[in-house]
């Protein structure tokens, strides 16, 4: 059966949608590695970075040191993350991986956030954490657990999740993420602390609270 041009275009458009769903995570590399460099004259542009000539690669392109060092958690949340992405290790470019160290003061909180481009697998190295994530609409089911030293938990890509230190001693976790550049959206900061602010009309209706509550929340960020 002969297809019209319009039909063919419709198939192409549909295929584009389907394939963009199929490749929701970082695309697989087509070479052993592609060490990211910042020199636009150096080489080709892959996954948002320029690649170094592979012959020039050395061990230091695949190396980072310092995740033994605790971050300073003296802040309102009692929490700090040291995220090591392609910006710190050029050799991560195209590999779909990154790593982080999370430090929690006693009762410190990594507040609800999402990684738009990565799933996360987290191991508790020290202390105990109450962790959880919430499933998509319409269920919005909370899946949560208290983790102890040596425990591992997975946060699926895109879902809102958090970790709270439920102990009176510092807690430490190491997390691996399935993107060289996972991205972070902290919900409260994004919604109440955007620059410029989201209109109060939007937030009062969205949260079903009055203007004073919205103003108060915006003032916290
Ligand atoms: C490239 O530039 C960015 C932004 O200036 C910087 O954070 C990063 O460390 C640089 N990466 C390399 C591999 O030089
Ligand atoms: C940690 O951060 C706080 C607040 O910014 C600062 O006052 C303090 O000196 C820092 N501590 C260290 C050890 O750097």
Q: Are residues 162 and 101 in the same domain?
A: yes
Q: Are residues 221 and 126 in the same domain?
A: no
Residue 43 has pLDDT above 80, yes or no: no
CA–CA gap between residue 92 and residue 32 (Å, rounded): 11
pLDDT digits (tens, 9 = 90+) for 76-118: 999 999 999 999 999 999 899 999 999 999 999 999 999 999 9
163 assigned to some structural domain: yes
Q: For residue 75, give the ligand 2 atom closest to its CA.
A: 4
| 129 has binding-site annotation | no
Please tell me the distance between residue 66's alpha carbon and the centre of ligand 1 in angstroms: 17
Count of structural domains within the chain: 2
Please tell me the distance between residue 92's alpha carbon and the centre of ligand 1 in angstroms: 13
More confident site: 124 or 8: 124
90 CB near ligand 1 (under 6 Å): yes
84 assigned to some structural domain: yes
Show the DSSP H helices in the chain as ranges: 5-22, 187-192, 200-207, 211-219
| 126 has binding-site annotation | no
Q: Are 165 and 107 in contact (CB under 8 A)?
A: yes
28 assigned to some structural domain: no
Which residue's alpha carbon is nearest to atom 8 within ligand 1? 87
96 CB near ligand 1 (under 6 Å): no
pLDDT at 159: 96
51 assigned to some structural domain: no
193 assigned to some structural domain: yes
Residue 67 has pLDDT above 60, yes or no: yes
pLDDT at 19: 44
Task: Look over the chain and give the mean of its residue pLDDT values, rounded to a whole number.
Answer: 88
85 assigned to some structural domain: yes
Residue numbers of the domain that contains 196: 185-221
Q: Are residues 83 and 122 in the same domain?
A: yes
Q: Are residues 167 and 125 in the same domain?
A: yes
Please tell me the distance between residue 54's alpha carbon and the centre of ligand 2 in angstroms: 41
Q: Are residues 200 and 163 in the same domain?
A: no
Please tell me the distance between residue 36's alpha carbon and the centre of ligand 1 in angstroms: 9
Q: What is the pTM of this model?
A: 0.79
| 120 has binding-site annotation | yes
- CATH number assigned to the domain comprising residue 175: 2.60.120.10
């Amino acid at each position: 059966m002969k297809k019209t041009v319009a039909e063919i275009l419709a198939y192409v458009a549909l295929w584009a949608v389907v394939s963009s769903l199929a490749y929701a995570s970082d695309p697989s590399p087509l070479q052993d590695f592609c060490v990211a460099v910042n020199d636009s004259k150096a080489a080709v542009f892959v996954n948002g970075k320029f690649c170094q000539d592979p012959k020039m690669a050395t061990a230091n392109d695949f190396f980072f040191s310092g995740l033994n060092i605790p971050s300073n958690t003296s802040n309102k949340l009692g929490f700090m993350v040291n995220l090591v992405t392609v910006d710190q290790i050029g050799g991560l470019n195209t590999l779909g991986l990154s790593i982080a160290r999370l430090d929690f003061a006693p009762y410190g909180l990594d507040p609800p956030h999402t990684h738009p481009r990565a799933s996360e697998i987290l191991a508790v190295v020290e202390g105990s954490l109450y962790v959880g994530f919430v499933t998509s609409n319409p269920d919005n089911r909370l899946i949560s657990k208290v983790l102890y030293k040596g425990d591992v938990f997975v946060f699926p890509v895109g879902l809102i999740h958090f970790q709270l230190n439920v102990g009176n001693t510092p807690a430490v976790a190491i997390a691996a993420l399935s993107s060289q550049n996972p991205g972070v959206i902290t919900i409260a900061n994004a919604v109440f602390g955007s620059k410029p602010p989201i209109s109060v009309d939007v937030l009062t209706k969205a949260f079903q609270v009055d203007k004073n509550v919205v103003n108060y929340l915006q003032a916290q960020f």
